Structure 1
Amino acid sequence: MKIIAYLYSDPVLESPPDPAIFGWEIDRIYRDLGDRAQLDRLLAECESDGADYLLIRRLEELGDSVQQVCDAMEKLEFLGVQVVPTETEVNPLNPKISRADLLKSIAEIQRDRHSRQIRKAHAKNRIKALPPPGKAPYGYRRGKDRYALDRAAAVVVKDFFEHFLLYGSLRGAVRYLERKHGKKISVTTGRRWLTNPAYRGDLRYRNGAVISNTHVPIVSREEAAQVDRLLRRNRKMSPRTASAPRSLAGLAVCGECDSPMTVSRVTSYHSDREYLYLRPIRCPKQSKCKALPYDRLLQQTIEAICRDLPEAVAQLEMPDEGRVEGEFKGAIAEKETLLSQLPELCDRGILDSETAELRAYKLRTEISQLQRQQAQLPPVNLREIARAVSIPQFWLDLSESERRFYFREFIRHIEIIRQENSWNLRVLFIF
């Protein structure tokens, strides 16, 4: 008994499948990429040498239309080769199949062919770095072959990003957008804006591939990397804490009852003066842990940072940032060199135009990935930052929102250590 197999894949749409999916008891496997030259060879060798079974994944792999599939099946049946589709629920070659199931199988082939044609058209546009189908993101309009800036809307998006970078609060940036520009969006939409590659000058497609520098960006690479870091940092906090106006919100923890602490505001009767306190949210003790004055805790936190941060940074074993960045630049330059050599290879006849376009697409996606990783490297040396923020005057000149931004860059949490008639604190850094 002779068993053969046939695999067809379009390199524009999918990666070549693993031949081992049919098992190991196969006499020969014929594989086609894009065209069906091996299918013609299979039919010719079946006519001369014969075969008992042909394994395929789906019937539609036998042709680009229903008529071509039927012609191939008819010839195989005439040669006495039984076709076995492994991924099809209904085998139309089964002599006991009903007419309804046969019509259903033909309809599935037609739907698959139509779907494949649409996906192939989209894939060709993707290889040429054309915008994906659908409406352009807010801030852009669709041009002939790329996104073009909608200058009025782009100002709104730019202002949204700048506010988020300044204060690190997504909800605050959403409220600011409505207050200043009258543009009302949800928090979910705001988060999509912050993570959308289109605003960074890149295109992201449905398959997850990203191609860099396809149109004019609204946000620079450095700003985009900072946005990603802020989002990762805020993800560890509750949404309300991440946008709280006070700098110690979400950082203080009571060492006695292990409860997070929240900022409470108290005002005096017939007075505009207010008092801020930090109190435990969920204290399980019968005699609740007392609230602590916010200003004193803030002052001690600044003193602890100025005293302990340089020593904590000095003990870190950090890689050579210059060497790491140089490795990224070298890898990017190497792929850009390969990309520039493709036209010459086409002129010499080594590559055809379709293969060159596909290779260029893969190189551009790899370059985009390397550029995103490079942009996320620390922009400056951590030891230099530690020296700058270890000056008390640096903290005193900041607003509460600005202090909140810097506190969350360095602090994991602040543990309040209560004593009999006093209290102390311990600052735990994120590194």
Structure 2
Amino acid sequence: MKIIAYSYSEPLLEPAPAPEIWGQEVDRIYQDLGGRQQLQQLLKDCQTEPVKYLLIQRFEELGDTVQQVCAHLEKLENLGIELIVTDEKQTENRANLLKLLAEVQRSQHSRSIRKGHARNRIKSLPPPGKAPYGYRRGKDKYTIDKTASPAVKDFFDHFLIYGSLRGSVRHLAKKYNKKISVSTGRRWLTNPAYRGDLEYQKGQVISNTHVPIISREEAAQIDRLLRRNRRLSPRSASAPRSLAGLAICAECRSPMTVAKVTSYRKDREYLYLRPINCLSQPKCSGISYEEVLQLTIAGICRDLPDAVAQLQVPEMNAIKAGIAGAICSKQEIIEQLPALIESGIFDKETAELRAYKVRTEIAEMQSRLAQLPPVNLRETAQTVSLPQFWLDLSESERRFYFREFIDRIEIIRENTNWKLQIIFIF
């Protein structure tokens, strides 16, 4: 007596199971993808060849509705085939037919909903749910909300200038009376929708599906700022002073904070760097912020060119050209799909599925391209190594360049004197 197995898979939702899951004793495997032609062939073959056992993973594989499942179960029973369900939960429920049918019906309903969502993904339609703030749901894509999008754009511009998430959140609340949490602001900064892309389940991204609020270059700069700020504490990342989060005391290994002191009845203020958690006795004293700042600039001008010269920096232009060429090749595949449909090589559904996969691959390549440094490191190092470069920069602009190159600044005390040691990030 033969042992056979049957599996049904929906290509939009799941891959086909491997033949090895049934074991070595199976005589034949019937497998359907999106339709149930092989199930009908199975029933036809069983009328001429006796079969003892039929292995399936779930009852729902026998039909799209409860009625179809019951009809196929009845046919198998009339043929004298014993059904074995490998899913243990399904097998335990066989004693309670009503409960089993209810579970099958719920599973089929859930599968139908997920299948509809999968079709929408293939067609690059927006996912279910409310559109992100700054957009409205159109017929087949997101459209710009002209009343809300200026606030979103201003939020991104503020972050690009100052690199401070908390500061951008406060700016949004003060200027537009739009109050959001810091976590919401972080989601805005990383949301593909504001970049003209759609993100679906499992992180799959389709690019260029609607009008973006920020450009690709701005998005790449935001990603670099976020990666850079992860090395700092949240308060230091949003602090206005350029040395915040960079200086540490080499004596007690404590991070140093910027402290402000004002004179009695005078408008002038003095800034100091003081250890936050100093365990030394006596405690390490504060150091003039302005002196540390000037020595830091002098140290960058003196040491940065040599540090960059020792690096084995890959040729960024060649890497970018290679990725750009791969993206163009993928675009050509998408452009060839209509001709393949007309010639009958692909049907429309298969072509849409192929286009979806290629567009996700393009989005991944664009993400890799955006993560590459936008400028030549050696040229930038030569520019920032000139003392004149730092003369007219604001604190926020100095903070941007400090964090671009410096990992930490160690303040080394020598009796009553002290000196700096700048540790670069490369």
Q: Match of 2:310? A: 315
Distance, in Å, in 2 between the alignment partners of 1:142 and 1:175 is 28
Partner of 2:33: 33
Give the equivalent residue in structure 2 for 1:70. Answer: 70
Listed one character per residue, the Cα deviations across residues 332-368 of structure 1 (whole Å, up to 9, x for unaligned) are 1111111111111111111111111111111111111
Give me the whole-angstrom Cα distance separating, in 2, the residues matched to 1:355 and 1:64: 21
Q: CA deviation at 1:2?
A: 2.8
Deviation at 1:46, TM superposition (A): 2.0
1:128 aligns with 2:123: yes
Contact 2:93 2:99 in 1 (8 A): no
Structure 2 match to 1:117: 112
Contact 1:414 1:427 in 2 (8 A): yes
Corresponding residue of 2:252:
257
- Is 2:221 aligned against 1:226? yes
Taking the aligned partners of 1:214 and 1:136, their CA distance within structure 2 comes to 14
Code of the residue aligned with 1:62 in structure 2: it is L
Deviates more, 1:374-383 or 1:23-32: 23-32
Measured after TM superposition, the shift of residue 241 of structure 1 is 1.0
Counterpart mapping for 1:172-191 below 5 A: 172-191=167-186
Q: Where do 1:75-86 residues align within 5 Å?
A: 75-86=75-86
The residue identity in structure 1 corresponding to 2:115 is K
Partner secondary structure for residue 248 of structure 1: coil
- Once the two structures are superposed, what CA deviation does each residue of 1:103-146 show, in whole Å capped at 9, x if it has no partner? 11111100011111111111111111111111111111111111
Contact 1:57 1:88 in 2 (8 A): no
Q: Does 1:377 align with 2:377?
A: no
Task: State the match for 2:166 in structure 1.
Answer: 171
Within the candidate set 127, 141, 147, 1:146 is matched to 141
Asked if residue 246 in structure 1 is aligned to residue 241 in structure 2, the reply is yes
How far apart are residue 236 of structure 1 and its match?
Answer: 2.1
Secondary structure at the counterpart of residue 89 of structure 1? helix
Other-structure match for 2:60: 60
How far is the alpha carbon of 1:93 from its aligned partner?
8.5
Work out whether 1:333 is the aligned partner of 2:328.
yes
| Consecutive aligned runs of 4 or more in structure 1 exceeding 4 Å deviation | none
The residue type equivalent to 1:125 in the other structure is: N
What is the aligned partner in structure 2 of residue 344 from structure 1? Answer: 339
Aligned residue identity for 1:421 = T
Q: Distance in 1 between matches of 2:133 and 2:108?
A: 34
Deviation at 1:74, TM superposition (A): 1.2
1:92·1:102 contact (CA, 8 Å) conserved in 2? no
- Is contact 2:63-2:69 (8 Å) kept? yes
1:88 CA drift (Å): 4.3
C-alpha distance in 2 between matches for 1:285 and 1:25: 74
Measured in 1, the distance between the counterparts of 2:73 and 2:176 equals 64
Correspondence for 1:413: 408
1:394 maps to which residue? 389
Partner of 1:24: 24
Greater alpha carbon shift after TM alignment, 23-32 vs 372-381: 23-32
- Cα offset, 1:22, TM superposition: 2.5
Look up the match of 1:42: 42
| Other structure's SS at 1:91 match | helix
**In the alignment, structure 1 residue 201 sits paired with structure 2 residue 196:** yes
Which consecutive unaligned segments of at least 5 residues does structure 1 have?
none
**Would the aligned equivalents of 2:93 and 2:100 in 1 still touch at CA under 8 Å?**
no
SS of corresponding position for 1:52: strand
2:157 aligned residue (140, 158, 162): 162
Amino acid paired to 2:334:
L
Picking from 339, 362, 380, the partner of 1:367 is 362
Moved more, 103-112 or 204-213: 204-213
Structure 1 residue 106 corresponds to structure 2 residue 101: yes
TM-score, structure 1 length as denominator? 0.96
TM-score by length of structure 2 reads: 0.97
**Aligned-residue offset at 1:393:** 2.0
Alignment partner, residue 286 of structure 2: 291
**Are 2:59 and 2:90, in contact at CA under 8 Å, matched by a contact in 1?**
no
Partner of 1:216: 211
* Alignment correspondent of 1:14: 14
Count of matched residue pairs: 426
Name the aligned partner's letter for residue 152 of structure 1.
Answer: T
Q: SS of the counterpart of 1:3? A: strand
Q: C-alpha separation between the residues in 1 aligned to 2:197 and 2:243?
A: 36
1:59 Cα deviation after fit: 0.4
Unaligned runs of 5+ in 2: none
